[in-house]
Structure 1
Amino acid sequence: MDRFISNLAKGDKDKIVFIKRLVTSWYFFILPFVVLIAVKFYSSSVWDILLVSDWSIASFIIYGQLISQITASSITLKNVSDHGLEYYVTKRIAFGLTSNIVIYILMALKPNVFLGLIQLMFFVFANIRYFSDNIAIYSLKK
């Protein structure tokens, strides 16, 4: 992991510290899911991993964190335009928050493997966005 972070930061020591802090906070997103997966494997109900709606809630939380972080960071940044920030927040609300809540509701009403796969895919994408958006925030600050 250290080598990956170093390659990602390209030798920038401040960026290495930033990414390590980012990964540290990310561990608290991931830890409950590692426990969930371990419990489901232990109870021999592997398919149930897909059928819990927790994946959608976690994705919703990740997008909420991103929106909060980018708006808080943009207050101190002079090179962020209002319409650019508005566009970013709108995209995260429309495609991040809303889509995950819809999947969460559908999973609560009628869980199935197809919706489970979609919410797992959304969860993976939310995690990718978490890192890419936060690194973009870092770059804007520099």
Structure 2
Amino acid sequence: MNRFISNIAKGDKTKAIFVERLVSSWYFIILPFAILIAIKIYSASTLDIILASDWSIASFIIYGQLISQITANSISIKHIMDHGLEYYITKRIAFGLTSNIVVYILISLKPNIYLGLIQLMLFVFANIRYFSDNIAIYALKNQS
């Protein structure tokens, strides 16, 4: 993880501290899933790992946090144009929140391996967005 942080920070100590805090909060997103996986493996129900709808809910929460963070930070950043913020939020709602809630509903109604794999991919993508969007927020806040 230190290599990940140093690659993102590229020698910027302030950015490294920001990324360390970001990773620290991310651990609390991942921890319940590590526990879920361990329990499912222990109970010999590995297919249930993929079919658990928790992945979609977590992705939904990640996107909700991102929308909240960018909105709150944009208030203090004077040089963000409103139409850029609107576009960002529209993308996150349309592709992040909506797709995850649809997959959640579908997997709750009729679980299958394909929906399970889709929700896992959406979860991975939400985690990637978590880091990339927060790094973008950092960059916008530190532009002068």
Aligned to 1:72: 72
Deviation at 1:50, TM superposition (A): 0.7
Give the letter aligned to residue 112 of structure 2. N
User: After superposition, where does 1:79-94 map in structure 2 within 5 Å?
Assistant: 79-94=79-94
In structure 2, what is the equivalent of residue 33 of structure 1? 33
Shift of 1:8: 1.2
The SS at the match of 2:20 is helix
What is the rounded CA distance, in whole Å, between the counterparts of 2:4 and 2:66 in structure 1? 22
The answer for the alignment partner of 2:52 in structure 1 is: 52
TM-score by length of 1: 0.99
Q: Percent identity?
A: 77
Q: d(CA) in 2 for partners of 1:32 and 1:82?
A: 36
Tell me what 1:117 maps to. 117
Partners of 2:90 and 2:8 in 1: how far apart? 28
Partner of 2:45, secondary structure, is: coil
Question: After TM superposition, what 4+ stretches of structure 1 lie above 3 angstroms from structure 2?
Answer: none
Pair 1:139 & 2:126 matched:
no
Cα distance between partner residues in 2 of 1:93 and 1:84: 14
- For residues 47 and 4 of structure 1, the distance between their equivalents in structure 2, rounded to whole angstroms, comes to 31
| 1:9 corresponds to | 9
Equivalent residue letter for 1:78:
K
Q: How much does 1:32 deviate?
A: 0.3
> Given the two structures, how large is their TM-score scaled by the length of structure 2?
0.97
Q: How many residues align?
A: 142
Runs of 5+ unmatched residues, structure 2: none
Counterpart of 2:24 in structure 1: which amino acid? T
Q: Structure 1 CA distance, aligned partners of 2:20 and 2:128?
A: 15
How far the C-alpha of 1:99 sits from its partner, in A, is 0.4
Q: Deviations over 1:36-77 (max 9, x none)?
A: 000000001111101110000000000000000000000010
CA RMSD after TM alignment:
0.5
Kindly state the Cα deviation for residue 4 of structure 1 after the two structures are TM-superposed. Answer: 2.1
Structure 1's unaligned 5+ residue stretches are none
- Cα deviation, residue 130, structure 1: 0.1
